[in-house]
A and B are shown apart, each in its own frame.
Chain A
C-alpha cells in the first residue's frame, strides 16, 4: 500500500512530502532528455547541472513556466520518475495533493491532475500555493484574524489574506525569481555586451542582488561571451546596477502586494499592522525585499522559518488530515 503524497510542483524546485514520513524529496524541476530518442537521461539536481552545458543531442529543460505546465508529456514523465523515486510502483497508487499557483487556468489545472493520474496517482487534488504556504508557515489561520502571506516562487508571486481557514483576498502575478534572473541576463547583455547563462545570472542574484540598498555591499565578477568578438570576457557588476536591472520585476511584485492589501476587508486589514505579513518562497530570500515591501506598504514583513518548505509542509498537513481538509481542494469548491 503506497503512502499518500503531497507535491509542491514548483517552477524552480519540486518537493515531495510522504504521509507519516515528512519531506522525502527536494530537487530542481528539471529533466534532461536525449533529443533524438526521447529517452530521459537525468532528472532533478543532476539535470540542473546540465542546463546550458549540454551537447546538441541532449536538452535539459524546465517543463513548468509560471507555475503552469508548458510541456505536458515531459511533465508527466517527470512526475512519473519522481513517484518512482519515492517508492510508488504500478501496483501502489497513492492519493496525491499537488500545490499549484492560484492564478492557473482551468485547462492548466486539468493538465496537472491528468499528468499526475497518468503518472500513477490514484487520485490527484490541487491546493492553492498561498493557502498551503500559510498552513506550512504555521500561521494561526484557524482563528478569525487576518493572516497575510506572500509567496514568491520561481514563476509566480502570490499574496493572500486568510482567515478562518479560507482565502479572503488574493492577488497573483506571473512574475517570480526566474524573471529576476532573466532581467539580469538582459541587463548584462545590453549594458556590457556579454551573454551570460541562466545559472550565472542566478549566481549574480544570490551574490549581490538586492531589492533595497544594504549596509554591506560587494561587487561581483561575471564571466560570459562577448557578443562582438565571441571571446570569453569578464566584467564587474555593482549592487546598484543589479538593483536597477531588477527594479521592474521587484516593483511588479510589490504592487501586487499593495493590491491585495487594498482588497482586504477593513476588519482584517487592522490585524496586519499588529501581526505583519509573512514572506515565503525562494524569491522571498532576495536581500532587502522584505524591507522594501515594508517601506512601501507600512506593514511589518516577517520571514517564515521555513521559506522553502512551507508550501509542501502545508500540503503535507492536508494529506495527513485528508478527510477534514478536503473542502480546501480547488475542485471541491467549484
Chain B
C-alpha cells in the first residue's frame, strides 16, 4: 500500500533488525521520516520536535513512563505506540496494552524480520487510515462551518425601527449549524410580523430546512399573506420535502397590530409564546396546531388584545430543555416562573439581562444542550393611533 502522506516515526533506540524492517515497510510506502532518539532522556523532547505518527519504544519500564506521559499528560491518543518488550517481560504484555500501547513485539524476535514487518504493516495501515479520517473530518468540519456562516446571514443582523415597539433578539447555536430561525418585518404600516421556528435536529440538514422555512416566510414580506395561509404554505412545502423523514418544524408566527393593540397568532407545535402583562404575569400562547412537515392541517388565526401588556417573548426550547441532574430537566414551567419573577421585579427587560440572570441567579449555571433563540418585542406606551397615522 503506497501512501501520499508523510509518516513520521520516532524510535527509542536503534535495533539493527528493526531499522531494516522499518526501512523496508515505510520507504516503500512513500514519504517517511524516521528518527532514533540518542538516549531515553531525549525521547520526550524528540516527541515534541518530531510530533510522530508512530512511536516504537523499548523495555517495559521506559514504555510505561512514555505511555503515561503521552496518553495522560500530552493527551495524545492519536499516536500509534508499538512497544518492544524483552523476553523476560513477556508476562507484562497485557498490562502494556492496558496502559495504552497499541501493539507489542517480544525481543529477541523469534520469527525474525517477517514478524517485525507484519507488525509494522499494522501500524502503517492504522496511521494511513487515521490520516485519511482526519482529512475527511476536517473537510466535513469546514463544510459545516461554511453552512453555519451562511445560516447566520439568514438571521436578522440588527433590530428594526418600527413604531410602537422595541425589538431585541438573541441567538446561540449549540452546534456550528443549527435549526433555529427567527425573523421580524413589517407587513403593513401598523403591523409587524414576528416569527420563531425550530427545526428538529442539528447540523447542515437542520440548517437547510431552516433556510427553506425562512425563504417561505420571507415570501410573505413581499406578497402579503395572512398567517393561516403562510402556515399552510410552509406545512405543505415541508410535507413534500421532508414528509417521509423524521424531521419537522415547530413555528410560532404573530402579527402585532400596533394601531389596534391586537396580536394575531398561530402556534404550530412550538413552545408557548409568552405575552407579558404590565403586572409581570405571563399569558401563554400555547400550540393549537401540531408540528409542521408531517401531515396536512387547517390553520386558523387566534386574536388577543395586547392593551395591558408589556410585550411578547418568543423562545426556542433550548432555553429550558437542559438537565438539572441525571434524571431531571429544568423544564418550561420553571423557566416561566423564573421569567415571571424577573418581569414582576424589573421595570426594564432585555435579553442580555436574561442571559445574566440565567447564568448567575440559578443554583447551578445552565448546561444548555440545544440551540437557543429568543425574540423580545416590547410594546411601547405611546399613543399608537398617532404613531400609525404619521
Partners in one complex: no
Q: Which A residues form the contact surface with B (CB < 8 A)?
A: none
